[in-house]
Structure 1
C-alpha cells in the first residue's frame, strides 16, 4: 500500500451537508444496470454461498503486514495482520462481502484486504470511467470505533511489483472513513512525497456526511468518475458530487503520470490504526482498549462502467493457445509455449504453469497476432518463492530470443511459489503477427519466477 500519513484536520475536513430523508437499505441481489450512456465493463455482486471467500478470479488476497519488499505496515502505520481466513473475510450468503476486524486474547488485530486481479481500469480515449461500490461502513461509533479505517480505493498498475513508486502512479481514494465518524472522505494522491502537487502526505481531499442515514447504519453508494475529455476526477456519494480535481490543478505531467499507464486496480480493506485514525484522535494512537472487536465493512457490490470513446480494455477471452500462437489479447498459457527452456510444467493457480525458471530460460509463442492494436501493455501472471536478494527480469522480445527487449519488469519473491500476482509492463506499440519470446535474465543462478500465463493489452 501507499506510503503516506494522514494529517487532515477534523475541523476543516468534516463538511456539513443537508441530510436527505432516506432509509437504510439492504443488499441488492445484483449489480444495478448502468445509467443511460454507460456500459458495465466489470463487476462483482458478491452473490454466493455464505461462509465462502470472494472469487479468486476477481480478487487477489493481500496478506500480512505489507507487500514483499514494500513498506512496513502497508506504509500507513496500520497495525492489523491481513488474512484470507473466513473469520476476517467472507460472503454472507445475502449478496454481501463482509470484511471483519478481530482482536484476539493477546490484543492482536486481524482483518482483510483484497485487490482486483485486473489492473487496467481506465477510460477509453476521450471517454469516461466510473468505479462504484455500495457499502456500509462498520456499524460502530464513539470510543468503541477508534482505529477502524475502512476504504474503497485504487492504485496505478505500475505499483504492482514495485511498491516504491507511490504516489506518482496515482491513488484514488473513493471512500475512506475513520473512527466511526459519519463522513466519507474522497482523496487524490499524486506526484511526489512529501509535498508535490498533491501536498503529500495528506493528498487533495474533501469530505461530507453521508446523505440521510449515517455511513455506519446504512448502505451508501460511493462513486468515482474519471473523465478523459474534461480531464477531471469527481467523487460522489449517493449521486451527490462532493469533490473534484482537475488536470489544471496538478499540472499536465503529474496528470499524465497517473493516467497514461495501463490503468488502475481496485482495493477493499478494513485497516485498524494508522496515521489517519490517529490524526483524528488528537494524534493519539489507535485502536484503544475500548475499541470493540468484530465489526464489519459490508460491501454489496463493486462495478466498473465506461462511457464514450472506444473500448476501455482489450478482450479478456481465455484460450488454451495450443502450440503457443493465438491472439495477443488472450491468455497465452505458459505450459503451451511452442518452445521452452528452463523450469518445469506443474499445477498451479487453478491450472498449470512453468515453475521455477532461472537465468537464461525462455518461452516461445509462435505466430501471436496483435492485429492493428497497437499493443502497449504486457501482463504476466507470476509467483516467486526465491530467497532474499534473488530476483530477475521478465522480458518480451519479438522474432528472436536475442532481439532487444520491447518491454520488461523485475520480479523477486512474491511470498511463495504459490503466491500469484499479475504484473504489468509498458511495451512499445506492437501490431501484426510475431513470434513472441518471454526471456528470463538474472544475476543469480537460482530460479526466481514461475509463470502461469502472459497476455497483451492496448
Structure 2
C-alpha cells in the first residue's frame, strides 16, 4: 500500500480473474464470526497478537498500534504513494473495536471526499530467527459490498520493512509483504512481494511478484477467512516466502528469484504490520479501467478483523524442520554471522523466551559460545540485537570476553530502556584484537540486581 501500482499489473491480474474463480478448489467452511484467538498451533510459539477484545466504540490498543492520519507520512509521498484519495483519521467513526471481538475499519463518504483508517504495529521487528519459520496471520472479513457499490474499496493486511519508518523514500528495497489485498469487491485475494528497485528489478516493480485466487467456500466479502504469510529460514541459503488463504497455499517466492536483493529486505531489524481500507488509487482504478470511487460507491462498509497473530516455529520437526537443537560443533561458528543467543553452549542465570531470544538478564549472568572462528583478520567491532523494558534508572553493560570469564572485557556497551522488552535495537561497540578460533562469553554487569536486557543475537564486524 505504500507502493506505486502500475496499470499493467492490474489489468493482467483482472484479465485472469475469471479463470482463477472458475478454478477455485473445493469449498472450505469459513469460521464463524467473532471467534477468539485460536490455540497456538502445534510446533509454533506465539510471538505477538491482538484479538481486539476491547469495549465497544474504543480505539485499538495504543501499546500495540499506531493510527496513521492525513494523506501521507511527514515528508513521504503524497496520497501514501498509491494515488488513494481518502484521508485517514483516528475517529471511532473510521476505526473502532466493536465490543464483540472485532476491529472495524470503515470508509465514510463526506460529500465529495472520503475518510477511512490505517493502523500499523508499534513493533517493527517481526522476523524469523535463523533456522525458523515466521507466520503472520489475520482472520478478516473484507467489506461486505460487491459490484458497482464496491468501486474503489481497497482493504489490505500487509507488512513493511522497518527502515521505511521515518525514511519513506527507501521502498521497495526494504521489502513489502502484501498478505491480503482486495479491490472493488471482487471475490479474490491478492498476495504480493515488493522488493529490489523501482522500476524493474527482481520483483518487476511496480508490479511486484504476485498471485491471486478466489476465497475458498464463502466469498471474501460475505465471511471471515484466514490470511497467512510465512517466511521460511530453515535453509538459510534457500529461504522461501509463502501465502495462504484458509490454509491453502496459493503463492510462493523463492530466495533465488530475488537474487542479491534478498539481503536488502531481510538483513534489517524486521517488519511492521499494517491494516487499512483505502479508497481509490492505482490498484482499484487499474482493475476497473477508470477512476474510483464513483457515484455508485456506497459508504460505510467496514473491514472486520477478528485477530492478528505472529508465530514462530519452536524448533521441532512439524511444521518444517529446524536445525538441531544442540549447539554447533567446536570451530564451526562464524564470528561474522549472527550468533543466536539461545544457541549458547553454557549459561548462568538465563532464560530462553519465545524460542528465539535470551532474557531476564541481570548482574552476574553469562552465556558461553564455543568455537567462534574469527579467521586471520581482527574484527573492528561487535553488534548485538538487544531490548530492554527496565524501569527508569536501571541499566547495565553487555560485555564480550574471550576464552575465560576472568579475562577483562574485549568490548562492551551500556543498555537501558529501549521502549519494551521486545523493542529491539542493534547496538555496536568497539572490540579488541582477536584472531583464530576462541570461546566467546557474553557477560552482564550492573550495579543493581534488576533484569535490564534481553539478547536476540550478536556478531562481530570487520
Q: Please report the TM-score for the alignment, with normalisation by the length of structure 1.
A: 0.72
| Alignment match of 1:193 (pick from 198, 212, 232) | 198
CA displacement 1:402-446 (0-9 Å, x = unmatched): xxxx9xxxxxxxxxxxxxxx99764437854589xxxxxxxxxxx
Structure 1 position 35, deviation (Å):
2.0
Distance in 2 (CA, whole Å) between partners of 1:235 and 1:314 is: 26
Structure 1 position 34, deviation (Å):
2.3
Match of 1:289 in 2: 295
Structure 1 position 19, deviation (Å):
4.5
Match of 1:237 in 2: 245
The 1:246/1:399 distance shift into structure 2, 3 A limit, reads closer
Matches within 5 A, 1:248-397: 248-251=256-259, 253-282=260-289, 284-307=290-313, 308=315, 314=357, 329-332=387-390, 336-337=392-393, 367-369=396-398
| Alignment match of 2:15 (pick from 11, 17, 31) | 11
CA displacement 1:343-388 (0-9 Å, x = unmatched): xxxxxxxxxxxxxxxxxxxxxx75334689xxxxxxxxxxxxxxxx
Matches within 5 A, 1:2-81: 2-7=2-7, 8=9, 9=12, 10-12=14-16, 15-16=20-21, 17-81=23-87
| Alignment match of 1:213 (pick from 199, 218, 235) | 218
Distance in 1 (CA, whole Å) between partners of 2:412 and 2:71 is: 39
Matches within 5 A, 1:433-452: 433=444
The 1:133/1:63 distance shift into structure 2, 3 A limit, reads same
Distance in 2 (CA, whole Å) between partners of 1:13 and 1:227 is: 28
CA contact under 8 A between 1:49 and 1:91: conserved in structure 2? yes
The 1:330/1:427 distance shift into structure 2, 3 A limit, reads closer
Structure 1 position 158, deviation (Å):
0.8
Structure 1 portions without partners, runs of 5+:
320-326, 338-364, 373-396, 401-405, 407-421, 436-452
Structure 1 position 39, deviation (Å):
1.1
Q: Does 1:85 align with 2:91?
A: yes
Structure 1 position 182, deviation (Å):
0.3
CA contact under 8 A between 1:316 and 1:330: conserved in structure 2? no
Distance in 2 (CA, whole Å) between partners of 1:293 and 1:204 is: 32
| Secondary structure in 1 matching 2:202 | coil
Q: Does 1:166 align with 2:158?
A: no
The 1:28/1:369 distance shift into structure 2, 3 A limit, reads farther
| Secondary structure in 1 matching 2:16 | helix
The 1:30/1:429 distance shift into structure 2, 3 A limit, reads farther
Structure 1 position 398, deviation (Å):
6.9
Match of 1:428 in 2: 428
| Alignment match of 2:161 (pick from 156, 177, 181) | 156
Distance in 2 (CA, whole Å) between partners of 1:288 and 1:318 is: 58
Distance in 2 (CA, whole Å) between partners of 1:163 and 1:155 is: 11
| Secondary structure in 2 matching 1:254 | helix
Distance in 1 (CA, whole Å) between partners of 2:127 and 2:4 is: 24
Number of residue pairs matched by the alignment: 358
Distance in 1 (CA, whole Å) between partners of 2:400 and 2:388 is: 12
Structure 2 portions without partners, runs of 5+:
316-321, 323-341, 343-353, 363-384, 402-410, 416-421, 431-441, 447-451, 458-462
CA RMSD of aligned residues (A): 3.0
CA contact under 8 A between 2:49 and 2:308: conserved in structure 1? yes
CA displacement 1:65-85 (0-9 Å, x = unmatched): 111111111100101111111
Structure 1 position 131, deviation (Å):
0.2
CA displacement 1:266-314 (0-9 Å, x = unmatched): 10000000000000011x1111111000001000110011013565665
CA contact under 8 A between 2:125 and 2:423: conserved in structure 1? no
| Secondary structure in 2 matching 1:287 | coil
CA contact under 8 A between 2:388 and 2:423: conserved in structure 1? no
CA displacement 1:311-336 (0-9 Å, x = unmatched): 566578899xxxxxxx9521356xx3
Match of 1:343 in 2: none
Distance in 2 (CA, whole Å) between partners of 1:315 and 1:109 is: 47
Structure 1 position 95, deviation (Å):
0.8
The 1:399/1:246 distance shift into structure 2, 3 A limit, reads closer
Matches within 5 A, 1:117-132: 117-132=122-137
Structure 1 position 184, deviation (Å):
0.2
